[in-house]
């Protein structure tokens, strides 16, 4: 059986994080229109590719987007949802306005990253993979190294690294980012 050309991968490079994104279903349909297949089996093999494309483009996959994938590839929504929830890379909820990677690698651990994890839990009510109730902050704890150990403990908030953090300075960094975005919006600028 000839291998299907999965897709023209024009959306495959992850964009830099630019804040919370709603999913434009027309874009999802456009992405799906690039998927071609000649039989049921080929279509099944494309489900993961399709979900990856959407997840990379928007940072998550909504139920409506999952339905479009299921329809286009002739499968059930349950099968698509099964894959979405099986693989940790897929998100089924949008990220917050701000996205933080908190380094929990060896150097950061030794220099107190656990304190930062606790600060997020106590002040923002969030742990690894969670989003604050106000939709401002999502966090992902990274056990690998973010590559700036000389500044441990480190977080990357949106596209900026912040190092040598204490509980207080972590909180300040978060509050500054939230205030800057809100200020930009009230001045009519868009940070999205
Ligand atoms: S261990 Fe955190 S930056 Fe290297």
Residues 79 and 108 in one domain: no
Residues 122 and 176 in one domain: yes
| pLDDT digits 0-9 by tens, 123-171 | 999 999 888 999 899 998 999 899 999 999 999 998 899 999 999 999 9
Residue 20 in this model has a pLDDT that exceeds 70:
no
Index of the ligand 1 atom closest to the CA of residue 106: 1
- What is the model's pLDDT at position 14? 40
The CATH number of residue 48's host domain is 1.10.10
| pLDDT digits 0-9 by tens, 62-90 | 999 999 999 999 999 999 999 998 887 78
Index of the ligand 1 atom closest to the CA of residue 105: 1
The CATH number of residue 122's host domain is 3.40.30.10
8 part of a folded domain: no
- What is the model's pLDDT at position 37? 93
Residues 123 and 76 in one domain: no
- Which residues have CB under 6 Å of ligand 1? 103, 105-108, 145-149, 152, 154
Mean pLDDT across the stretch 91-102?
88
110 part of a folded domain: yes
Closest CA to 67 of 52, 58, 79, 57: 79
Using H for helix, E for strand and C for coil, what is the string for 101-163? EEECCHHHHHCCHHHHHHHHHHHHCCCCCCECCCCCEEEEEECCCCCCHHHCCCEEECCEEEC
Residues 39 and 104 in one domain: no
CA distances from 15 to 21, 38, 182 (A): 12, 31, 22
CB-CB neighbours of 19 under 10 Å: 16
42 part of a folded domain: yes
Mean pLDDT across the stretch 30-54?
94
Closest CA to 105 of 131, 150, 142: 142
191 part of a folded domain: no
Residues 104 and 63 in one domain: no
Residue 5 in this model has a pLDDT that exceeds 80:
no
Q: What is the average pLDDT score of the chain?
A: 86
Pocket test for ligand 1, best of 110, 117, 143, 149 (most atoms within 8 A of CB): 149
Residue 12 CA, ligand 1 centroid: distance in Å = 27
β-bridge pairing 137-142 and 98-103: parallel
Residue 106 structural domain: 98-186
Residue 146 CA, ligand 1 centroid: distance in Å = 5
Number of domains in the chain: 2
């Amino acid at each position: 059986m000839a291998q299907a050309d999965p897709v023209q991968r024009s959306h495959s490079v992850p964009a830099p994080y630019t804040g919370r994104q709603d999913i434009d279903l027309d874009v999802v349909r456009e992405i799906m229109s690039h998927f071609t297949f000649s039989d049921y089996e080929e279509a099944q093999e494309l489900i993961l590719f399709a979900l990856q494309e959407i997840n990379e483009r928007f940072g998550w996959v909504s139920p409506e987007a999952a339905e479009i994938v299921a329809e286009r590839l002739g499968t059930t929504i349950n099968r698509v949802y099964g894959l979405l929830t099986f693989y940790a890379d897929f998100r089924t909820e949008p990220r917050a306005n701000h996205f933080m990677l908190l380094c929990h690698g060896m150097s950061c651990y030794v220099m107190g990253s656990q304190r930062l994890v606790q600060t997020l839990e106590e002040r923002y009510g969030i742990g690894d993979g969670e989003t604050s109730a106000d939709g401002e902050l999502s966090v992902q704890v990274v056990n690998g190294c973010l590559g700036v150990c000389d500044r441990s403990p480190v977080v990357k908030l949106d596209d900026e690294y912040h190092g040598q953090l204490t509980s207080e300075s972590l909180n300040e960094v978060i509050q500054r980012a939230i205030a800057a975005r809100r200020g930009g919006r009230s001045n009519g600028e868009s940070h999205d």
